[in-house]
Amino acid sequence: MNTYLINYIVKIEKDKLRYFILAYTNPQKVLIIKTPKDNKVQKRFLGYEWSGAKGQEGIKYNGGTTVNDIITPLFNPKDRGDKSKISYLIQQNFLGNELDLKEFEEYKDLIKYRDVVNILDFSCGEFNKSFSLTPKKEIKTKWKLVKLGNYVETLNGLWKGKKEPFVRVNVIRNTNFGKNGKLDLNDVAVLEVEKKQYEKRKLEYGDIIVEKSGGSNTQAVGRVVFFDQKNGEYSYSNFTSRLRLISKDFYSKYLFLFLDYFYQLGYTFNFQNGMSGIKNLDFKKYLDMKIPLPKKENIPKENR
């Protein structure tokens, strides 16, 4: 058994080393272009939008009725060599030319050059050679870094019950994730769920709910909310998971604030998978991430 395991690990690590050498020695940089998160800004960036209005269904171009009239920073349909358009950057990158991005200062958050080695993840046991469009970021802190999964208990959510007995409870969904991690209880689903499942998934004050499925290419999955209710019967949907602190080394409010900050910085783009549509959070990677462990007396009272 040990020989089989060692051979298995060696095979994976050899594969990693091979691709690391190929990536590290590759002089060609990857040009990453993202779309804006804001819908209105995104429409201007793309130069078109989709209309569902009756009698006007279909694509609507900014600037005219056909693609030849389109106004977008992406390309100029009347001059494919227009150096002020992003398409010129793409063309030149294919030719091996890295251009100065100062002419595209307006889109500095959307356009980046990255080394191949920095968008491959060599840290996981399972090496799938996939690219992450969000560069890896290092958490800089004076505090000890510890593995999140060692300090929390996790449990996936529930949905409508199939086996009696049932109990009627409030179920928090992705739509209840407000801005900046605020819990929005204006439209909570009230469902009949299996009593046995609910008993294990009843939310307690201080629980952290993590979005497990959702997101998109421009909005990362992995939003979090802090459960701040002390009364009522509440649970959480099967598109989410619960984190419950099992260590006295942390305050749950501090842990929530860090995870929300981690999300706002875009770190969870590195933990999502799915080619198109709904993205799923790689929960193993999420729980493997390192978080700062400050001394409890250094945490402000409002963050406890």
The pLDDT tens digits for 44-83 are 999 998 877 777 778 889 888 888 989 999 999 999 899 9
User: Cα dist. 95→2, 64, 92, 131 in Å?
Assistant: 49, 32, 5, 21
pLDDT (tens digit per residue) in 103-139: 888 888 889 888 888 888 777 667 778 777 765 666 6
Token pair for residue 44?
């201007």
User: Cα dist. 112→92, 107, 213 in Å?
Assistant: 14, 9, 27
Q: Which neighbouring-strand residues pair with 193? A: 167
Q: Tell me, what's the pLDDT at 237?
A: 94
Q: Tell me, what's the pLDDT at 135?
A: 58
Number of residues in the chain: 304
Distance between start and end Cα atoms, the chain = 46
Domain ranges of the chain: 30-114, 144-303
Instruction: Give, for 259, the enclosing helix (H) or strand (E).
Output: helix 252-264
- The CATH number given to 144-303 is 3.90.220.20
The distance of Cα 59 from the centroid of its chain, to the nearest Å, equals 29
pLDDT (tens digit per residue) in 149-180: 999 999 999 988 888 899 999 999 999 998 77
Give φ, ψ of 263 to 5 degrees: -70, -45
DSSP string, 78-107: T-TT-TTSHHHHHHHHHTT-PPPGGGGGGG
Q: Which neighbouring-strand residues pair with 191? A: 169
CB within 8 Å of 130: residues ≥ 6 apart: 120, 121, 273
pLDDT (tens digit per residue) in 247-299: 888 888 989 999 998 888 778 887 887 655 678 888 888 998 888 888 777 77
Task: Give the max Cα distance, the chain.
Answer: 68
Q: How confident is the model at residue 222 (pLDDT cuts 50, 70, 90)?
A: very high
